[in-house]
């Protein structure tokens, strides 16, 4: 008969979880751990959360021998500090590997039934919510859940239907270095980085908006591919003066949050680019204005100061956008797994599929279904929350750089 000694490496170590709750104030954590003095105790894990002046501090301790004296010592210091302490005994190292995921929820507004639906699905998947934190309270509410014990891909499938029913956006990403390491963001332009479609703005100036719209609708019905539809629409612009391009550029409106997104990403060392089925005269100006690293688009032919109705060079279509993403990544020295692609239309599907994280932004249903996650609020900087970047971090960086941050809306 083999006997396993109590201190054998194969036996899970006994641990003590001490959880303190009460009113927060400076110095509590130092007083709690200082009370243990020279006792034979190892700290295995600490988590602390404060919310509106209330503290929850949990410590997992490896206690050599009887833990009774440690409990008594911590109970005394808790009473002195006006805190409540609860003890739970257990076994094992809390740092043992376990599959983890980040679940980011976006709502405008975020209602209790939506939170209930999401968390119920997490529980039904056999996962546990280890930590919850708020990333933003305006102009959307964003809450991040750190979840353990579930496969991220399976969890994503579980939460997709719940998010749709609840009218919120949910992103599920594996925890770890992959999530933190994304270093290139490439965005579509029309209806993503900017509001509206440039070809329609040009068509309005040429007096052919209705005809262009009909071609666009035919393409959406699948009667024309992107290349055919683009050639047909550009053909309708023949004779338009070159100055119309500058007029349209002056009228282009960035999507809300676009400058904040780019400014924040650049501070963090990200490379940023745009890729468009539109026109380089517009995208090049946008890239210069925003300080983007990369830009790719189609080129209109101009002769004697007027559009000829033709394009110069190969058309940047669905496959071309994905190839542009690969080219930008190679030039930046970033693997595709560390790229993010953001778009709204079928022309963005290959790019979204190729990226490490594909984001559908106020997109068509086919794009939402294919993307890793969808953002359906009208603020492009909501993409930051998918990366775990909080609104408070953005505003603190803006303040340090002298940017004026808009005041939050009054409570409803």
Tell me which residues are annotated as active site: 188, 190
Distance separating alpha carbons of residues 112 and 103, to the nearest angstrom = 16
CA 358 to CA 349: how far, in whole Å? 9
Residues 6 or more apart whose CB falls under 8 angstroms from that of 79 comprise none
Residues 46 and 50: their CA atoms lie apart, in Å, by: 14
Could you tell me the two tokens for 262? 């780019």
Would strands 306-312 and 294-303 be described as parallel, antiparallel, or unpaired? Answer: antiparallel
Pick the closest to residue 104 from 142, 156, 141 (CA basis).
142
Which runs of E-coded beta strand occur in 11-140?
14-23, 41-51, 54-63, 84-91, 100-107, 128-136
Sign of the torsion formed by the C-alpha atoms of 220, 222, 223 and 228: positive
Q: What is the DSSP letter of 194?
A: B
Q: What angle do CA 277, 282, 287 make, to 5 degrees?
A: 95
Q: Which residues contact 95 (CB under 8 A, 6 or more apart)?
A: 44, 45
Q: At a CB cut-off of 8 Å and minimum separation 6, what does 289 contact?
A: none
DSSP SS3 for 185: strand
Residues in contact with 355: Cβ distance below 8 Å, sequence separation at least 6, in sequence order: 186, 325, 336, 339, 340, 341
Residue found by looking up tokens 């963090």 in the block: 268
3-state secondary structure of 57: strand
What values do phi and psi take at 330, rounded to 5?
Answer: -65, -40
**Among the listed residues 145, 148, 150, 172, the one whose alpha carbon sits nearest the alpha carbon of residue 161:** 172
Chain centre to alpha carbon of residue 325? 19
Side-chain-side CA neighbours of residue 53 (13 Å): 1
Closest C-alpha among 333, 324, 328, 330 to residue 351: 324
* Sign of the torsion formed by the C-alpha atoms of 8, 9, 14 and 16: positive
């Amino acid at each position: 008969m083999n006997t396993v000694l109590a201190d054998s490496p194969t036996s899970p170590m006994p641990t003590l979880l001490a959880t303190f709750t009460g009113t927060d104030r400076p110095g509590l954590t130092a007083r709690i751990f200082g009370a243990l003095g020279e006792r034979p105790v190892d700290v295995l894990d600490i988590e602390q959360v404060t919310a509106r002046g209330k503290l929850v501090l949990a410590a997992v301790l490896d206690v050599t021998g009887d833990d009774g004296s440690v409990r008594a010592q911590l109970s005394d210091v808790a009473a002195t500090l006006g805190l409540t302490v609860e003890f739970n005994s257990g076994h094992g190292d809390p740092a043992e590997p376990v599959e983890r995921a980040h679940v980011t929820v976006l709502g405008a507004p975020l209602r209790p039934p939506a939170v209930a639906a999401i968390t119920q699905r997490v529980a039904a998947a056999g996962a546990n919510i280890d930590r919850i934190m708020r990333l933003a309270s305006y102009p959307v509410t964003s809450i991040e859940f750190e979840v353990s014990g579930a496969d991220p891909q399976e969890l994503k499938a579980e939460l997709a239907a719940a998010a749709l029913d609840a009218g919120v956006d949910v992103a599920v990403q594996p925890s770890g270095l992959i999530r933190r390491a994304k270093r290139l963001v490439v965005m579509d332009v029309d209806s993503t980085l900017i509001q509206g479609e440039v070809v329609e703005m040009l068509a309005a100036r040429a007096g052919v908006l209705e005809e262009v719209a009909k071609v666009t609708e035919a393409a959406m019905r699948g009667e024309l591919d992107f290349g055919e539809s683009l050639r047909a629409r550009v053909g309708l612009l023949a004779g338009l003066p070159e100055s119309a391009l500058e007029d349209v550029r002056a009228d282009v409106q960035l999507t809300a949050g676009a400058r904040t997104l780019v400014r924040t990403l650049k501070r963090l060392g990200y490379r940023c680019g745009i890729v468009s089925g539109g026109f380089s005269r517009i995208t090049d100006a946008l890239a210069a204005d925003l300080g983007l690293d990369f830009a790719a688009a189609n080129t209109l032919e101009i002769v004697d100061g007027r559009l000829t109705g033709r394009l110069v060079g190969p058309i940047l279509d669905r496959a071309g956008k994905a190839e542009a993403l690969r080219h930008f990544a190679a030039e930046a020295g970033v693997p595709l797994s560390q790229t993010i692609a953001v778009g709204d239309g079928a022309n963005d599907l290959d790019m979204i599929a190729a990226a490490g994280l594909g984001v559908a932004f106020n997109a068509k249903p086919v794009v939402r279904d294919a993307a890793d996650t969808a953002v359906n609020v009208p603020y492009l900087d909501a993409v930051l929350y998918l990366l775990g970047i909080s609104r408070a971090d953005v505003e603190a960086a803006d303040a340090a750089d002298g940017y004026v941050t808009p005041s939050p809306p009054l409570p409803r």
